[in-house]
């Protein structure tokens, strides 16, 4: 089935239903049951990402084939983690199909706030490249593949851009609803239903408070600064904790809009939904991609939802599994 043919149950077609239900406690229970094998066999790994940075994740070795198809590295979205619903569901699917799976946590995500003193921000691409390179060296595999969701999809595509120069033998990359133009994404969150903005801000503030408790000698933000909206708190983060100097330069720093992906030398597939309430679909239609890149826009799906029916299985899992299988000739 092509993404254009994705047709969820009529009661699930609303973009907000798709987006919210995908991260809901109901789907959480289903994800945990489905991913029991993935989590039970997982081994925690801390990676030297370069420059003194440590990133952590979980490696699960498949046991269904004589030899693994390869190593699939999964990247979560902003304020998600290696245990997010979509990561567990996709990881369980790939594990069952014979892939070793590594679920990477970005800095300050999951239970990793203690590993690095400085704060996470979305321009920290070098350390993610370093972590993937460390994985390739530490766990040699017949094929190395990368799949990311939302901000993780943005990171995955930027890693793919840098993979040849970094000596990473990346076979393919899949991005689901990746952030394309951060300027437009921030504006969409501000214009859209308030619960998206408030959901992300609640999780971000909790993360920053946890970081502060672990590093009491640091003064990351004052309490009144934490009360700002997303634009205000991001601006404070940029001006105090990054070298970019302005919010605009920071947002440009992790943009993949326009022709920024035109130099891709690694096969990539991008899946998004025309009704995504968080990432404007117009951003995807303006991308200048190399001929080998694949861009698929489904009519429905919301943000990282793509739920078919009330069993809450996601077409995104099928998409990622199919593209990885194609890259290995299976």
Q: Which among 109, 122, 303, 314 is annotated as catalytic?
A: 303
Split into its structural domains, the chain has a count of 1
State how beta strands 170-176 and 268-273 pair: parallel
Is residue 230 within 8 Å of residue 237, measured between CB atoms? no
The string of pLDDT tens digits covering residues 54-95 is 999 999 999 999 999 999 999 999 999 999 999 999 999 999
**Residue 294 lies inside a defined structural domain of this protein:** yes
Task: Spell out a b/e string for 6-30, using b for 16 or more CB atoms within 10 Å of the CB, else e.
Answer: bebeeebbbbbbbbbbbbeeebeeb
CATH classification at residue 108? 3.40.50.1820
DSSP state of 314: B
The string of pLDDT tens digits covering residues 137-194 is 999 999 999 999 999 999 999 999 999 999 999 999 999 999 999 999 999 999 999 9
Q: What is the DSSP string of 27-39?
A: HHHHHHHHTHHHH
Active site residue 150: yes
Q: 125 is in which domain, residue-wise?
A: 3-180+262-327
**Residue 139 lies inside a defined structural domain of this protein:** yes
64-67 long-range contacts (CB < 8 A, ≥24 apart) are 64/95, 64/96, 64/97, 64/98, 65/98, 67/142
**Residue 237 lies inside a defined structural domain of this protein:** no
| Radius of gyration in angstroms for the set of CA atoms belonging to the chain, rounded to a whole number | 19
H/E run at residue 57: strand 53-60
Is residue 35 within 8 Å of residue 88, measured between CB atoms? yes
Is residue 272 within 8 Å of residue 245, measured between CB atoms? no
**Residue 154 lies inside a defined structural domain of this protein:** yes
Helices (DSSP H) in 255-310: which residue ranges? 281-285
pLDDT > 70: what percent of the chain?
99
User: 5: how many CB neighbours lie within 10 A of its CB?
Assistant: 9
pLDDT at 2 over 80: no
User: 216: how many CB neighbours lie within 10 A of its CB?
Assistant: 7
**Residue 169 lies inside a defined structural domain of this protein:** yes
**Residue 143 lies inside a defined structural domain of this protein:** yes
Q: Which among 23, 84, 150, 314 is annotated as catalytic?
A: 150
**Residue 205 lies inside a defined structural domain of this protein:** no
H/E run at residue 59: strand 53-60
Q: What is the C-alpha to C-alpha distance for residues 204 and 207, in angstroms, rounded to an integer?
A: 5
287-292 long-range contacts (CB < 8 A, ≥24 apart) are 287/180, 287/256, 287/257, 287/258, 287/261, 288/258, 288/259, 288/261, 288/262, 289/261, 289/262, 289/264, 290/261, 290/262, 290/263, 290/264, 290/265, 292/264, 292/267
Q: Which among 100, 108, 276, 283 is annotated as catalytic?
A: 276
Listed residue (274, 290, 292) closest to 282, CA to CA:
274
Mean pLDDT of all residues belonging to the chain: 95
**Residue 201 lies inside a defined structural domain of this protein:** no
Is residue 295 within 8 Å of residue 4, measured between CB atoms? no
Q: State residue 1's pLDDT score.
A: 57
Q: What is the C-alpha to C-alpha distance for residues 105 and 207, in angstroms, rounded to an integer?
A: 14
Q: Token pair of 180, please?
A: 């394309």
Q: State residue 313's pLDDT score.
A: 86
The string of pLDDT tens digits covering residues 5-56 is 788 999 999 999 999 988 888 888 888 888 999 999 999 999 999 999 999 9
pLDDT at 207 over 60: yes
């Amino acid at each position: 089935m092509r993404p254009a043919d994705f047709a969820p149950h009529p009661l699930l077609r609303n973009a907000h239903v798709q987006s919210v239900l995908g991260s809901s406690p109901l789907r959480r229970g289903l994800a945990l049951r489905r991913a029991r094998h993935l989590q039970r066999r997982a081994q925690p790994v801390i990676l030297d990402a370069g420059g003194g940075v440590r990133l952590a994740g979980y490696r699960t070795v498949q046991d269904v084939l004589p030899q693994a198809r390869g190593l699939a590295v999964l990247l979560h979205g902003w304020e998600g983690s290696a245990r997010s619903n979509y990561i567990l569901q996709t990881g369980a699917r790939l594990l069952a199909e014979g892939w070793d799976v590594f679920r990477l946590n970005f800095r300050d995500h999951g239970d990793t706030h203690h590993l690095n003193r400085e704060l996470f921000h979305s321009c920290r691409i070098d350390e993610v490249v370093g972590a993937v390179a460390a994985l390739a060296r530490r766990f040699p595999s017949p094929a190395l593949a990368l799949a990311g969701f939302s901000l993780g999809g943005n990171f995955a595509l930027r890693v793919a851009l840098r993979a040849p120069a970094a000596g990473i033998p990346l076979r393919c990359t899949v991005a689901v609803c990746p952030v394309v133009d951060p300027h437009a994404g921030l504006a969409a969150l501000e214009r859209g239903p308030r619960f998206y903005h408030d959901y992300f801000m609640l999780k971000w503030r909790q993360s920053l408070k946890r970081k502060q408790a672990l590093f009491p000698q640091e003064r990351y933000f004052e309490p009144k600064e934490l009360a700002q909206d997303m634009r205000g708190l991001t601006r404070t983060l940029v001006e105090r904790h990054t070298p970019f100097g302005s919010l605009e330069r920071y947002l440009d720093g992790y943009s993949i809009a326009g022709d920024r992906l035109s130099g891709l030398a690694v096969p990539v597939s991008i899946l998004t939904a025309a009704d995504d309430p968080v990432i404007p679909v117009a951003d995807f239609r303006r991308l200048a991609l190399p001929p080998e890149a694949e861009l698929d826009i489904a009519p429905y799906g919301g943000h990282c939802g793509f739920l078919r029916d009330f069993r809450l299985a996601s077409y995104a899992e099928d998409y990622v599994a199919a593209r990885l299988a194609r890259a290995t000739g299976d």
